[in-house]
Homo-oligomer: A and B are copies of this chain.
Amino acid sequence: MFRTHTCGELRLSDVGKKVTLSGWVQRTRDKGSLLWIDLRDRYGITQLMLEEGISEQHLLEKARHLGREYVIKVTGTVSERSSKNPNIPTGEIEIMLSDIELLNASKLPPFTIEDKTDGGDELRMKYRYLDLRRNPLKHNLALRHRLAIETRNYLDSQGFYEIETPYLIKSTPEGARDFVVPSRMNPGEFYALPQSPQTFKQILMVAGYDRYFQIVRCFRDEDLRADRQPEFTQIDCEMAFVTQEDVLNTFEGMARFLFEKVKGIDVGTFERMDYATAMKMYGSDKPDIRFGMQFVELNDLAQNKGFSIFDDAELVVGFNAAGCSEYTRKQLDALTDFVKKPQIGAKGLVYVKCNADGTFKSSVDKFYSEDDLKIWAERFDAKPGDLMLILSGNTDSVRKQLNELRLEMGNQLGLRNPQVFKPLWVTDFPLLEWNEETQRFYAMHHPFTSPKPEDIHLLENEPGKVRANAYDMVINGVEVGGGSIRIHDRDLQKKMFSLLGFSDEEAQNQFGFLMNAFEFGAPPHGGIALGFDRLTALIAGYDSIRDFIAFPKNNSGRDVMIDSPSTIAQQQLDELFLKVTAVSK
């Protein structure tokens, strides 16, 4: 037996008990006559002690040879500490040792196993097993486990079945790039790993399963941006005989349940906003509504006053940064530099300071009178002491730029507290997105999203105007998930594929099984998929998902711990009827 208790368990009430513990040596402190060891396991840290003259000499010897991260099993008696540590639950006791058994030695770790480590990113990834010993990562994975359990219990209580769908499926080039898996038994043919179980969950609705979910791995072979992983986890859900309202209520309920369970927070009823409003008021389809600074449009007030930059713009739009009229020249220049960064791309920034004395000071004083600016301030609801920030240009671009500026101001003003949660449904997304480069429409969500019935008549001649029964769950400016009411009619699905540029043959070849299924009594259905890595990080108050995944890959898609991907044996290639035409350097 390796232990009678864990290292997080013993309390003052256990004093006098003879106990056995096992764990890792966090540190030893040798004061000559007294020697302490902090013993760590998943559950906590317990202080062990030895005393010259009381403890047996060979134990003291042994203890003096223990290094950091050695694994030991110890036996001793629980005693009350003379100097208590109120910061840890076991801080009132220590173990007076009567035996030490070395279970395994350890080389010196290449970085410290502390909350704040001195290890760099690559080193921590290579020795992930050491990085995972640190408290922040332990808390992250414990939270992830808890969220998964509670998600399942909630959905189970709502009558959902978790049904496993296959990982070896069929490649469908629409959407992101697939990872493929050569089939040995079917030479020249490949499976694909699922980008999501989308078609299978719809098939399950056709099959009458009514309420399906799955916490499931998905795969996308995309060029990895920071904080994107080739494999990621989704809470994937689908319901039959539902309207959009049913889906929103069910998953709003789930999100509220999770926040309540793991954070003890009631996040309240979700705000709702349609896509058009979100774009107009925030310049984003995932607005962070923890703070205001909604957009105010100025065309009618600012144009035709001789300021050609505004006059030539499709849209003049800004927001009020309350309390920022004292921003210095340097601060304002920095904001201008911010919006002019290539990845944001604005040409410049117009500011209007609403001075405390009721006067105004702007970067466009040449063109606008105090009276003009006063009317602007009224529309901005700007008070003395506030700062109006204004951009102009092409509508789509300027909204995106102003969104970036708004978020930056939110950061500067400390309005984006990661422990405050403001969830939101964004609804009524456009069905289709025009791509200038390829000169064709793409599905904004995916080809299975249904158009709003009242917009179907626009499909033929103005497809770009058709709104979808599609919705996103957005929390704190993060798109946590999205979904839609699906098409369940074969003819409408065919039309949709044709709008997306599929020939009948391509559509039949790739999605024939789904369209065939629609001919055998497909019920109305809809669902949602939530990014589980992202949701977990968000709930913990983090931006990056990497430390919420036990074994993430780096930005080249490599697992540097196991050194994968790697070459395979010629025999394996031969069995798969494959030849490699290029190799990594």
Binding site for B on A (CB under 8 A): 1-3, 6, 22, 24, 40-43, 69-71, 73, 103-107, 109, 127-130, 132-133, 138, 141-142, 144-145, 148-149, 152-153, 156, 161-171, 173, 177-193, 199-200, 203-204, 206-211, 217, 219, 221, 223-224, 230-231, 233, 241-243, 246, 488-489, 512-513, 517-524, 549-551, 553, 556-559, 561-569, 572, 575-584
CB distance from A64 to the nearest CB of B (A): 18
**Whose C-beta in chain B lies nearest to the C-beta of A241?**
B2
**Whose C-beta in chain B lies nearest to the C-beta of A577?**
B582
**In the complex, are the beta carbons of A520 and B69 less than 8 A apart?**
yes
Q: What CA separation (Å) do A82 and B249 show in the bound complex? A: 39
> What residues on B are CB-neighbors of A553 within 8 Å?
166, 168
- With A103-B523, A188-B580 given, can you name 8 additional A-B contacts, CB distance below 8 Å? A104-B488, A104-B518, A105-B521, A132-B204, A168-B564, A169-B559, A181-B565, A578-B581
**Whose C-beta in chain B lies nearest to the C-beta of A519?**
B107
A-B contact list, 16 entries, CB within 8 Å:
A40-B208, A42-B209, A104-B489, A107-B519, A129-B207, A138-B208, A141-B163, A144-B164, A153-B153, A177-B184, A186-B557, A189-B567, A199-B562, A200-B551, A577-B582, A577-B583
**In the complex, are the beta carbons of B563 and A513 less than 8 A apart?**
yes
CB distance from A127 to the nearest CB of B (A): 7
**In the complex, are the beta carbons of A210 and B162 less than 8 A apart?**
no
Q: Which of A3, A132, A180, A199 has the most CB of B within 10 A?
A: A180
CB-contact partner of A24 in B185, B208, B211, under 8 A: B208
Q: What CA separation (Å) do A512 and B583 show in the bound complex? A: 23
CB-contact partner of A581 in B133, B566, B577, under 8 A: B577
CB distance from A530 to the nearest CB of B (A): 15
CB distance from A51 to the nearest CB of B (A): 26
CB-contact partner of A145 in B163, B183, B567, B584, under 8 A: B163
Contacts A24-B521, A127-B520, A145-B161 given; does A183 touch B557 at CB 8 Å: yes
> What residues on B are CB-neighbors of A144 within 8 Å?
163-164
Q: Which 4 A-B pairs have the closest CB atoms?
A: A188-B583, A106-B521, A132-B207, A170-B564
> What residues on B are CB-neighbors of A242 within 8 Å?
2
Q: Which of A130, A145, A173 has the most CB of B within 10 A?
A: A145
CB-contact partner of A186 in B200, B241, B565, B576, under 8 A: B565
Q: What CA separation (Å) do A130 and B203 show in the bound complex? A: 10
Q: What CA separation (Å) do A181 and B562 show in the bound complex? A: 16
**In the complex, are the beta carbons of A188 and B579 less than 8 A apart?**
no
Q: What CA separation (Å) do A47 and B182 show in the bound complex? A: 50
**In the complex, are the beta carbons of B191 and A162 less than 8 A apart?**
no
**In the complex, are the beta carbons of A183 and B565 less than 8 A apart?**
yes
> What residues on B are CB-neighbors of A565 within 8 Å?
168, 170, 181, 183, 186, 189-191
CB-contact partner of A562 in B169, B193, B561, under 8 A: B169
Classify the secondary structure of A's interface with B.
loop
**In the complex, are the beta carbons of B109 and A520 less than 8 A apart?**
yes
> What residues on B are CB-neighbors of A512 within 8 Å?
563
**In the complex, are the beta carbons of A165 and B550 less than 8 A apart?**
yes
**In the complex, are the beta carbons of A513 and B191 less than 8 A apart?**
no
> What residues on B are CB-neighbors of A178 within 8 Å?
572
**In the complex, are the beta carbons of B568 and A171 less than 8 A apart?**
yes
> What residues on B are CB-neighbors of A6 within 8 Å?
210
**In the complex, are the beta carbons of B563 and A187 less than 8 A apart?**
no
**In the complex, are the beta carbons of B580 and A128 less than 8 A apart?**
no
> What residues on B are CB-neighbors of A579 within 8 Å?
578-581
CB distance from A585 to the nearest CB of B (A): 9
**Whose C-beta in chain B lies nearest to the C-beta of A207?**
B132
Contacts A2-B243, A149-B152, A207-B129 given; does A584 touch B188 at CB 8 Å: yes
CB distance from A101 to the nearest CB of B (A): 11
Q: What CA separation (Å) do A515 and B187 show in the bound complex? A: 36
Contacts A162-B149, A520-B69, A522-B104 given; does A186 touch B556 at CB 8 Å: yes
> What residues on B are CB-neighbors of A73 within 8 Å?
241
> What residues on B are CB-neighbors of A180 within 8 Å?
181-182, 568, 572, 576
Q: What CA separation (Å) do A109 and B542 show in the bound complex? A: 51
Contacts A22-B241, A191-B564 given; does A520 touch B129 at CB 8 Å: yes
**Whose C-beta in chain B lies nearest to the C-beta of A514?**
B562
CB-contact partner of A203 in B129, B184, B191, under 8 A: B129
> What residues on B are CB-neighbors of A138 within 8 Å?
208-209
CB distance from A328 to the nearest CB of B (A): 46
**Whose C-beta in chain B lies nearest to the C-beta of A199?**
B562
Contacts A145-B162, A208-B41, A557-B186 given; does A572 touch B241 at CB 8 Å: no
> What residues on B are CB-neighbors of A161 within 8 Å?
141-142, 145
Contacts A42-B208, A168-B231, A171-B566 given; does A524 touch B182 at CB 8 Å: no
Q: What CA separation (Å) do A145 and B569 show in the bound complex? A: 39
**In the complex, are the beta carbons of B129 and A186 less than 8 A apart?**
no
CB distance from A147 to the nearest CB of B (A): 10
Q: What CA separation (Å) do A133 and B521 show in the bound complex? A: 11
> What residues on B are CB-neighbors of A107 within 8 Å?
519-520
